[in-house]
Structure 1
Amino acid sequence: MHIVILGCGRVGSTLAHTLEDMGHTVAVIDRDPEAFRRLRPGTAGAAVEGLGHDRDVLVKAGIEDASAFAAVSSGDNSNIIAARVALETFGVRHVVARIYDPRRAQVYQRLGIPTVGTVHWTAETVLRRLVPGSDGLDLGPLWRDPSGTLAMTEAPLPHGWYGKRVEQLESALPLRVAYLVRGGELVLPRGDETLDAGDVLHVLARVGDLESVQERLSGEES
């Protein structure tokens, strides 16, 4: 699979090396030729100098044959414009853009462009580790789909559900269990999987049902 990356900072160069190690081909775009020093010699041959939303630059990077495009430069505007060109002009199937402003990230998610809201995601992740369970923090959405219909939320298993099955939880609440974290390991549970003390649930629910799901999961009654 060929993947085009905009931005040769620490994230972009790490992505490029990781993807190559996985057997994919990559091209890295950056307007600063000095940035390519982060690339190892073999990867540097796929460096393309220029603006990520310039069609000629994208074509030179192989966008016409690309299966994926990642915009991870330091500029929100550059990332989102380049992502839209890749998606709408060249029809790249898998496109993601790094966005620092969380308000912009939400807007572009609704436009169908998956985004990684760097500041918001980092702050939320740190807070979850600092004050788990404080003011329902662990129940905040971890992910929303681009249409804004579904969200994934995290919650410790309430005491009232110890020893019960996943299918019972899914029947009682408008949710689906995506996975569990149990003893530091990920578990993809079947419906007959028994829920244990200490399990951390990662569940999918419709955004409209999220508040009631959070309230039920934060309570003790099953």
Structure 2
Amino acid sequence: MHIVILGCGRVGSTLAHTLEDMGHTVAVIDQDPDAFRRLRSSTAKTAVTGLGHAHDVLVSAGIEDAEAFSAVSSGDNSNIISARVARETFGVTNVVARIYDPRRAEVYQRLGIPTVGTVNWTADTILRRLVPGDPGVSSGPLWRDPSGSLVMTEAPLSAQWVGRRVEQLEAALPLRVAYLSRAGELLLPRGDEPLRAGDVLHVLARRGDIDSVQARLRPHESEGNGG
């Protein structure tokens, strides 16, 4: 597979090297030719200097044969414009853009451009580690589909569900268990897997159901005070 990457910062260069190690071909675009110093000599041979949304620059990077495009430059506007050109002009199927402004990220998700909201994602991830189990933190989505209608969230298992099977939980609530964390290990549970105390669920649900799902999964006050 050939993949074009816009942006040769830490993320872009790491992506390029990782993808090459996986056996893919890569071309990296950046306005600053000095940025290509981050690349291996073999990777730098296919680097292209210029704007990521410029037709001739994209063609030079092999966009016409590319199956994927990633925009990870430092500018939101450059990332989203380039991502849209890759998809709408050149018909690239797999396109993703890094977006710093969370308000913009939601807009572009609705346009069908998958985005990675760097600031919110990083802050939410850190908060989950700082105050695990806090309902104000854990209720935020870990992932949402491009339309925004389906989300994944993390929820510590409360006592009322301990001992029940995954299939019973899915039958009782409008969700699907994507995976669970148990004693430091990640599991892809079958329907007959019994739930245990200490399990942390990662569940998929429709956006309109997520608040009720969180409320049903959240420990009751009596569980938190020992009563």
Q: Same fold (TM over 0.5)?
A: yes
Partner Cα separation in structure 2 for residue 197 and residue 46 of structure 1: 52
Residue 139 of structure 1 and its aligned partner are, at CA, apart by: 2.1
Residue 159 in structure 1 maps to residue 137 in structure 2: no
Indicate the residue corresponding to 1:81 in structure 2. Answer: 81
Partner Cα separation in structure 2 for residue 219 and residue 207 of structure 1: 21
Equivalent residues in 2 for 1:1-222, closer than 5 Å: 1-220=1-220
Partner Cα separation in structure 2 for residue 190 and residue 64 of structure 1: 42
SS at match of 1:4: strand
Partner Cα separation in structure 1 for residue 135 and residue 205 of structure 2: 20
- Give 2:176's aligned amino acid: R
Segments ≥4 residues shifted beyond 4 Å: none
8 Å CA contact 1:5, 1:26 repeated in 2? yes
Partner Cα separation in structure 1 for residue 215 and residue 136 of structure 2: 9
8 Å CA contact 1:136, 1:218 repeated in 2? no
Residue 159 of structure 1 and its aligned partner are, at CA, apart by: 1.0
SS at match of 1:143: strand
Q: CA RMSD in A?
A: 1.1
Identity %: 79
SS at match of 1:194: coil
Residue 208 of structure 1 and its aligned partner are, at CA, apart by: 0.7
Residue 135 of structure 1 and its aligned partner are, at CA, apart by: 3.6
Partner Cα separation in structure 1 for residue 136 and residue 192 of structure 2: 28
Residue 136 of structure 1 and its aligned partner are, at CA, apart by: 3.3
Partner Cα separation in structure 1 for residue 48 and residue 79 of structure 2: 16
- Give 1:74's aligned amino acid: S
TM (norm. structure 1) is 0.97
SS at match of 2:177: strand
SS at match of 1:177: strand
8 Å CA contact 2:157, 2:200 repeated in 1? yes
Partner Cα separation in structure 1 for residue 20 and residue 96 of structure 2: 18
Count the aligned residue pairs. 221
TM (norm. structure 2) is 0.95
SS at match of 1:164: coil
In structure 1, the gaps of 5 or more residues are: none
Residue 185 of structure 1 and its aligned partner are, at CA, apart by: 1.6
- Give 1:87's aligned amino acid: R
Partner Cα separation in structure 2 for residue 14 and residue 148 of structure 1: 28
In structure 2, the gaps of 5 or more residues are: 223-227
**1:98-132: per-residue Cα shift (whole Å, max 9, x none)?**
00000000110111000000011111111111111
- Deviates most, 182-191 or 201-210: 182-191
**1:71-96: per-residue Cα shift (whole Å, max 9, x none)?**
00000000000000001111111000
**1:129-168: per-residue Cα shift (whole Å, max 9, x none)?**
1111224311211111111111111011111111110000
- Give 2:192's aligned amino acid: D
